[in-house]
Amino acid sequence: MQILERLAKIVNNPDKQVLFVFAGKAHPNDKAGQDLIKRIIDVSKMTEFIGKVIFVENYDMDLGKKLTSSCDIWLNTPTRPLEASGTSGEKAVMNGVLNFSVLDGWWAEGYKPNAGWAIQEKRTYANQQFQDELDAETIYSLLETEIVPAYYDRNESNVPERWIQFIKNNISGIAPHFTMKRMLNDYFDRYYNKLIEASRKNINENFAPATAMALWKQKVKNAWDNIQVQTIKAPDPTVRPLDFGENFVAEITLQTPGLDSGEIGIELLFGRKLHDKIDEIVFVEKMNIVGSGDGWVQYHINVPVYRAGVYDFTFRIFPVHPNLPHRQDFPMVKWL
């Protein structure tokens, strides 16, 4: 069935009518966006879609307010991962409107089952045309089999109980997490309060902690290029792939002239391979220090391979200090 035939069947069902309302503006230099709007308007003028597919002109904040507070479904289908945020969908949630969108932008974090509908975030095809066709099929299928039937499933009092339950889940489970208060709380808890606390510590004793940290960073920089791998014992996946349930065991000895054992850490990065490329980082585990001496440190790790598949791994060396606020505050790294 052709796309427009399928759409016509949905909007012209006398028992379960569906109305599509489009609005928006394209940038003057966005020819593709302008062409899309023109196509929507052309379709809306076809006999089978008159009054069923509508494009509202002159989009502005007032019109946006009316749309986000008056529709039943907020349909948003950005090309993943290009959605900047999706704040209109957040506004719709505050009004009890259910979202139906690609898991991109805010919806990737906000989506909850039985409180809206989602199109998977991960691409199936590298070819955008193929991906668009798959997404279109998913949209039509969900509309036909889940969304429209849920809306028109009424009890003896003509109340859509399942639909209302979705709205309740939406209001209670999603809306509270996308308010200005939640954002401010996050900023204070994750950043501002920690910065204030760190600042107070650094100014103690005439900025002694800050001076000590600066001297330590310079010490690490001076010694960084002298760090060498003395020995490394690890499985070779090109010789024999690890079996499911088998433990990954590795041991590395570093030469660390000018640095103490507690100032250098190593972590294992374990990734799943697909088509000879790392498709997913499965886990990151820090190696344990099992021995040290003058200018050398030995590390060991023993972790189970708990998922089947083809894997590859690497090791990452990084500086360690108890007063370092975050690893990225001193982004020194070596890859093995």
Kindly state the helix (H) or strand (E) to which residue 202 belongs, with its residue range: helix 193-202
List the helix and strand counts (H, then E) for the chain: 11, 13
CB burial of 77-110 (b: ≥16 within 10 Å; e: otherwise) equals: beebeebeebebbbbbbbbebbbbbbbbbbbbeb
**Among the three residues 179, 212, 234, which one is the final residue of a domain in this structure?**
179
Q: Do 71 and 134 lie in a common domain?
A: yes
Residue 299 structural domain: 223-335
- d(CA 274, CA 280) in angstroms, rounded, equals 9
Q: Do the beta carbons of residue 108 and residue 116 sit within 8 Å?
A: no
Q: Do the beta carbons of residue 311 and residue 273 sit within 8 Å?
A: yes
pLDDT at 222: 95
- d(CA 224, CA 203) in angstroms, rounded, equals 28
Within a domain: 202: no
Q: Do the beta carbons of residue 53 and residue 22 sit within 8 Å?
A: yes
User: In whole angstroms, how far apart are CA 247 and each of 182, 278, 280?
Assistant: 42, 20, 19
**72 pLDDT exceeds 80?**
yes
Q: Do 32 and 163 lie in a common domain?
A: yes
Question: Above pLDDT 70, what percent of the chain?
Answer: 96
Q: Do 235 and 316 lie in a common domain?
A: yes
pLDDT at 105: 87
Q: Structural domain tally of the chain?
A: 2
pLDDT at 223: 94
Q: Do 286 and 148 lie in a common domain?
A: no
Within a domain: 105: yes
State the average pLDDT over residues 238-252.
77
| Nearest alpha carbon to residue 18 among 71, 78, 66 | 71
Within a domain: 214: no
Q: Do 26 and 116 lie in a common domain?
A: yes
pLDDT at 1: 56
State the average pLDDT over residues 255-283.
86
Q: Do 152 and 243 lie in a common domain?
A: no
Q: Do the beta carbons of residue 27 and residue 33 sit within 8 Å?
A: yes
- d(CA 107, CA 75) in angstroms, rounded, equals 11
Q: Do 31 and 108 lie in a common domain?
A: yes
Q: Kindly state the DSSP code that residue 46 receives in the 8-state scheme.
A: S
Q: Do 169 and 256 lie in a common domain?
A: no
pLDDT at 285: 92
- d(CA 96, CA 70) in angstroms, rounded, equals 9
At residue 255 the predicted structure's pLDDT band, cuts being 50, 70 and 90, is very high
Q: Do 104 and 230 lie in a common domain?
A: no
Q: Do the beta carbons of residue 311 and residue 272 sit within 8 Å?
A: yes
Summarize pLDDT for 298-327 with one digit per residue, the tens.
999 998 877 666 778 889 999 999 988 888
- Inter-axis angle of helices 61-68 and 87-94, nearest 10: 50
Q: Do 18 and 74 lie in a common domain?
A: yes
CATH of the domain at 170: 3.40.50.2000
Within a domain: 193: no
Within a domain: 191: no
Q: Bridge-partner residues for 283, per DSSP?
A: 270
State the average pLDDT over residues 59-78.
91
Q: Do 50 and 173 lie in a common domain?
A: yes
Q: Measure CA 266 to chain center.
A: 27
Within a domain: 207: no
- The model's pTM: 0.64
**Among the three residues 179, 211, 239, which one is the final residue of a domain in this structure?**
179
Q: Do 166 and 36 lie in a common domain?
A: yes
| Nearest alpha carbon to residue 102 among 114, 87, 118 | 118
pLDDT at 219: 95
- d(CA 79, CA 172) in angstroms, rounded, equals 29
| Cβ-proximal residues to 152 (8 Å cutoff; 6+ apart), any chain | 15, 16, 160
Within a domain: 310: yes
CATH of the domain at 235: 2.60.40.10
Within a domain: 25: yes
